[in-house]
Amino acid sequence: MSEGNVIPKAADAVTSARKALDDVSASVTQNTTAARATIEQSYKGSKEALGAVVDRGTKAAKATKDYAEAHPWIAVGAGVAIGIVIGAIARRR
């Protein structure tokens, strides 16, 4: 191989390597952008779902409080019944 052929081949190899690096870089950028969009969408969906659960829990707690205030003896009876059931389960173990 002559010296005259080595330099152009080396230049071609460097050019090819640079193009491959640019292609990989572009691919990584696209994949990163797509992954970020997917993560952001999942985060927003999770946040909305959690908000809905918190709202339902708050409404249930308020309804329970209102019922217990309107019917205190039923609430006391329910508490006693639950205590008996938990005591029976604990005693079996």
In contact, 75 and 68? CB cutoff 8 Å:
yes
0.75 exceeded by the pTM?
no
pLDDT (0 to 100) of residue 4: 63
48/92 Cα distance (integer angstroms): 42
pLDDT (0 to 100) of residue 83: 94
Residue 45 corresponds to which tokens in the numbers above?
């969906």
Q: Give pLDDT tens digits for 60-84.
A: 999 999 998 999 999 999 999 999 9
Coil vs helix vs strand at 78: helix
Coil vs helix vs strand at 2: coil
Question: Using only C-alpha atoms, what is the Rg of the chain?
Answer: 34
